[in-house]
């Protein structure tokens, strides 16, 4: 009998995509009901809320032109994220740390401040890797270190780009000598005129990131919250007390003098994680970008908000494509032919793009480069390999293939 009815949870937030699929299905005689429009009972209002939460990263990105940003921290029952010495291993339990690996596995990038790297490295407390290594099958997020002064150690686990790709965001001209040393290790250094969370998030947006996880200290967390680039908080509460007047807290100075100025979290939820308690909530309402839609009879065959888009070739690079969900650097596997014409699941489009610079050349060295790119652990690493080999061995570059 086939499909007779389709229930749509949420219209696409991008205007040029809104209504196309719905109109097509309705023109084929299929009943299409949109939650919140055609279906408005209490049950469906709750369903709409769930749809908004599930699609929050896409909605925040479309509305504010920055990635969906989550601030994560673990603190003791008296509100400390570390002892007065800076020692923080471990505030939360093993089960909570496992949840953090899951959060990382769902993020495109993880952000820490330079102070976190300095404390963890110089005190030999953790020397963090900031990977999702305990989540089987999870992708590896990019690690971003924000350091205005570039006062960073020359040796750290974060500089090992075989674990994951690392970017250091800094202020223009800061410690060029150390910049060169880290660049030789494969670390990418990005300079800003004035380093601040808003500009870094704009940079991540342009790079195609959908979700970013902030695992920074209180000073950077306060700056990010003040810049209104933090959208959700995951707070792990551990049943222990450490005390200490100078022991750090999750969020630094926000300039608030009265409790009435406090930011109230929205859609708060609580979950017991072994001995710890996880509280999560949004700092800003989830943007509902659904348009005001007239009745079915009033909608013309072509939605006036939709710009017709007809093409057989989709072009995109380091940014979302016209369908709002894909970029060369987005962490989404794609099945396309490899150098032998066999279907191969490429980790990202960037892997495919870089490898296919070399596939049309009958040369053992070119084939080795393709294999090297296939095994790259991140799109940034694939890009680095492809561009380096292209620059070093231009004679191995063949005719590019179009992505159809």
Mean pLDDT of 352-361: 86
Contact predicate 134/160, CB 8 Å: no
Residue 403 pLDDT level (bands cut at 50, 70, 90):
very low
Q: How many residues does the chain have?
A: 404
Q: Check if the beta carbon of residue 386 is closer than 8 Å to that of residue 359.
A: no
- Between 37 and 167, name the one with better pLDDT: 167
Inform me whether the pLDDT recorded for 317 exceeds 50.
no
- Mean pLDDT to the nearest integer, 330-359: 81
Residue 289 has pLDDT above 90, yes or no: no
Backbone angles phi, psi at 56, to 5 degrees: -55, -45
Q: Between 19 and 180, whose confidence is greater?
A: 180
Q: What is the dihedral of CA 364, 366, 370, 375, to 10 degrees?
A: 70
The confidence score (pLDDT) of residue 272 equals 96
Residue pLDDT, tens place only, 179-237: 999 999 999 999 999 999 999 999 999 888 999 999 999 999 999 999 999 999 999 99
- Go through the domains of the chain in sequence order and give each one's CATH number: 5-53 (no CATH), 64-255+263-282 (3.40.430.10), 324-396 (no CATH)
**Mean pLDDT rounded to a whole number for the chain:** 82
- Confidence band for 331, pLDDT divided at 50, 70 and 90: low
Q: Is the pLDDT of residue 309 over 50?
A: no
Q: Which of 248, 259, 241, 192 is nearest to 222 (CA)?
A: 248
Mean pLDDT for 75-98 is 92
pTM: 0.71
Confidence of residue 1 (pLDDT cuts 50, 70, 90): low
Q: Where do the H-state alpha helices sit in 188-286?
A: 197-206, 218-226
For residue 350, the model assigns a pLDDT of: 84
% residues pLDDT > 90 (the chain): 43
Band (pLDDT 50/70/90 cuts) for residue 138 is: low
Which pLDDT belongs to residue 113?
93
Average pLDDT score over residue span 280-293: 77
Of residues 75 and 379, more confidently modeled: 75
> CA dist 64 to 136, 284, 319, Å?
32, 11, 15
Quick one: pLDDT at residue 269?
94
316 pLDDT tier (thresholds 50, 70, 90) = very low
For the chain, the straight-line distance linking the first and the last C-alpha, in angstroms and rounded, comes to 32
Tell me the DSSP string of 52-86: HHHTHHHHHHHHHSS-EEEEEEEEETTS-SS-TTS
Q: Residue ranges of the alpha helices (H) in 142-274?
A: 176-184, 197-206, 218-226
What band does 326 get if pLDDT is binned at 50, 70 and 90? low
The answer, yes or no, to whether residue 313 has pLDDT greater than 60, is: no
CA distance 22 to 40: 18
Q: Is the pLDDT of residue 33 over 70?
A: yes
Lowest mean pLDDT among 176-185, 325-334, 372-381: 325-334
Q: Which secondary structure element, helix H or strand E, spans residue 237, and what is its range?
A: strand 232-238
Between residues 289 and 34, the one the model is more confident about: 34
Could you give the 3-state DSSP secondary structure of residue 273? Answer: strand
Higher pLDDT, 296 or 391: 391
């Amino acid at each position: 009998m086939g499909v007779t009815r389709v229930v749509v949870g949420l219209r696409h937030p991008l205007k040029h995509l809104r209504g196309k699929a719905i109109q097509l299905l309705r023109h084929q005689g299929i009943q299409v009901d949109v939650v919140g429009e055609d279906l408005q009972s209490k049950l469906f209002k709750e369903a709409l809320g769930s749809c908004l939460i599930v699609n929050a990263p896409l909605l925040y990105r479309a509305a504010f032109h920055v990635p969906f940003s989550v601030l994560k921290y673990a603190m003791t029952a008296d509100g400390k994220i570390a002892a007065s010495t800076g020692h923080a291993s471990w505030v939360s339990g093993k089960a909570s740390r496992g949840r953090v690996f899951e959060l990382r596995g769902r993020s495109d990038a993880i952000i820490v401040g330079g102070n976190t790297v300095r404390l963890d490295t110089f005190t030999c407390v953790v020397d963090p890797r900031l990977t999702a290594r305990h989540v089987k099958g999870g992708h590896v997020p990019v690690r971003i270190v924000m350091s205005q002064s570039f006062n960073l150690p020359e040796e750290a686990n974060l500089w090992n780009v075989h674990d994951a790709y690392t970017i250091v965001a800094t202020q223009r001209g800061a410690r060029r000598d150390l910049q060169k040393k880290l660049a030789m290790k494969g670390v990418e250094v990005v300079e800003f005129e004035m380093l601040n969370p808003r500009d870094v998030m704009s940079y991540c947006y342009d790079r195609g990131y959908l979700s970013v996880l902030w695992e920074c200290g209180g000073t950077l967390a306060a700056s990010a919250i003040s810049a209104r680039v933090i959208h959700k908080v995951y707070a792990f509460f551990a049943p222990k007390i450490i005390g200490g007047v100078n022991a750090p807290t999750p969020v630094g100075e926000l300039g608030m003098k009265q409790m009435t100025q406090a930011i109230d979290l929205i859609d708060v939820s609580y979950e017991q994680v072994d001995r710890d308690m996880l509280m999560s909530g949004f700092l800003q309402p989830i943007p509902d970008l659904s348009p005001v839609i007239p009745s079915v009879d009033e909608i013309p065959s072509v939605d006036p908000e939709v710009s017709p888009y007809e093409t057989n070739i989709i072009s995109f690079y380091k940014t979302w494509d016209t369908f709002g969900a894909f970029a060369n650097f987005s962490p989404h596997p794609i099945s396309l032919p490899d150098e032998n014409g066999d279907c191969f699941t490429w980790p990202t489009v960037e892997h495919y793009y870089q490898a296919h610079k070399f596939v049309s050349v009958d040369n053992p060295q070119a084939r080795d480069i393709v294999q090297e790119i296939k095994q790259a652990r991140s799109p940034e690493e694939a890009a680095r390999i492809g561009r380096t080999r292209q620059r070093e061995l231009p004679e191995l570059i063949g005719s590019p293939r179009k992505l159809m």
